[in-house]
Amino acid sequence: MLSLLISTNQTMTAEQIVQKQLDTYNARDIKGFMSVMSSDVSLYNLGESKPISSGNEAVKAIYQNLFDKSPNLHSVLENRITMGNVIIDHEKITGRMGNDDALELSVIYEVKGQKIHKITVVRE
């Protein structure tokens, strides 16, 4: 929750930006979640050249739907690797679309200019 306390006037590290994304995801706070996304953010599955979604409004629509339909949504960070502007999170997500089974993902976040520019999801 430390990342939520950082003033918007301060420069955040890539890790702090991704942590804010995780904190607001768990709070199902679409405004906070989108505040760390670039206007041209793209969402990919690993190994695919075509994005699942591209652009702030399209990505927002996906997550708004997820937040609306997942009242018990929660992601637990299992591990994080930070390499400059690239953050790789291993997450276990429960409550997704009403499903209590844990969904295990690795997510690669690329941060540019204080915003998440690209998200690549690695699924089992």
What CATH number should be reported for the domain holding residue 116? 3.10.450.50
Q: Is residue 88 part of a domain?
A: yes
| Domain extent for 57 | 12-123
pLDDT for res 1: 43
Question: Cα-flanking dihedrals φ and ψ of residue 15, to 5°?
Answer: -65, -40
**Contact between residue 77 and residue 90 where contact means Cβ atoms under 8 Å apart:** yes
* Number of structural domains in the chain: 1
Q: Is residue 39 part of a domain?
A: yes
Q: Is residue 69 part of a domain?
A: yes
Grade residue 3 by pLDDT with cuts at 50, 70 and 90. very low
What is the C-alpha to C-alpha distance for residues 110 and 108, in angstroms, rounded to an integer? 7
Q: Is residue 5 part of a domain?
A: no
Q: Is the pLDDT of residue 9 over 80?
A: no
pLDDT for res 100: 84
Residues 31-75: tens digit of each pLDDT? 999 999 999 999 999 999 999 999 999 999 999 999 999 999 999
Q: Is residue 73 part of a domain?
A: yes
Round the average pLDDT of the chain to a whole number and report it: 92
Determine how many CB atoms are found less than 10 A away from the CB of residue 120. Answer: 20
Grade residue 7 by pLDDT with cuts at 50, 70 and 90. very low
What is the C-alpha to C-alpha distance for residues 9 and 60, in angstroms, rounded to an integer? 24
